């Protein structure tokens, strides 16, 4: 049975995935909870094997969202900065890459279910300066050479 993670757990994980060495006091301040609470939450995530190691790598058996998707974004250049700032605040954003070609950015989302994905796609698509989105749901990884 997969552990149930609440919004605070997901925010902590998002911050640690951005920087596994972020100080606990910084996490506490950004989320708005006590430093001791952050320490206890991180220890709980380690004990339940949601956090498998640092750099932070999530154990895919214990924490694997039901839906992952690639989202291609075409944006107006003048709105790129505010869009990136908006996306940084969304815990479901796994990565954002500037790319060449017919789209400007490739976004990877990890969501609990399709309803959450749908809601996020609506929010992103309705942002000022977003001209077009194109979404592909990830069915499986055939090759995974990501860092350990």
Q: So what's the pLDDT on residue 148?
A: 45
Q: So what's the pLDDT on residue 18?
A: 84
* Structure token digits, residue 26: 């910084």
123 close to 83: Cβ distance less than 8 angstroms: no
Per-residue pLDDT in tens (0 to 9) along the chain, 148 residues: 777 899 999 999 999 988 888 999 999 999 999 999 999 999 999 999 999 887 656 676 676 668 999 999 999 999 999 999 999 999 999 999 999 999 999 999 999 889 999 999 999 999 999 999 999 999 988 887 775 4
What is the C-alpha separation between 130 and 124, in angstroms, rounded? Answer: 8
Location of structure tokens 């990830």: 138
- CATH number for the region 7-58 comes to 1.10.10.10
Q: So what's the pLDDT on residue 64?
A: 65
Q: What share of the chain is helix, strand, coil (3-state, %, to 5)?
A: 40, 25, 40
Location of structure tokens 């952050």: 38
Q: Which residues of 50-76 are buried (b: 16+ CB within 10 A; e: fewer)?
A: bbbeeebebeeebbebebbbbbbbebe
Break the chain into its structural domains and give their ranges: 7-58, 67-137
The CATH number, out of the four listed (3.30.1490.20, 3.30.70.20, 3.30.70.920, 3.10.310.30), of the domain defined by the range 67-137: 3.30.70.920
Q: So what's the pLDDT on residue 65?
A: 63
């Amino acid at each position: 049975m997969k552990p149930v993670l609440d919004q605070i757990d997901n925010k902590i994980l998002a911050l640690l995935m951005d920087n596994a060495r972020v100080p606990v006091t910084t996490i506490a301040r950004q989320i708005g909870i006590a430093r001791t609470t952050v320490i206890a939450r991180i220890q709980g995530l380690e004990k339940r094997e949601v956090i498998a190691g640092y750099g932070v790598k999530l154990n895919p058996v214990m924490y694997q969202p039901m839906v992952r998707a690639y989202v291609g974004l075409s944006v107006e250049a003048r709105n790129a900065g505010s869009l990136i700032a908006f996306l940084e605040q969304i815990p479901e954003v796994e990565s954002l890459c500037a790319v060449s070609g017919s789209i400007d950015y490739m976004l990877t989302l990890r969501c609990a279910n399709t309803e959450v994905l749908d809601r996020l796609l609506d929010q992103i698509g309705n942002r000022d300066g977003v001209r077009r989105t194109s979404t592909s749901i990830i069915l499986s990884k055939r090759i995974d050479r990501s860092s350990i």
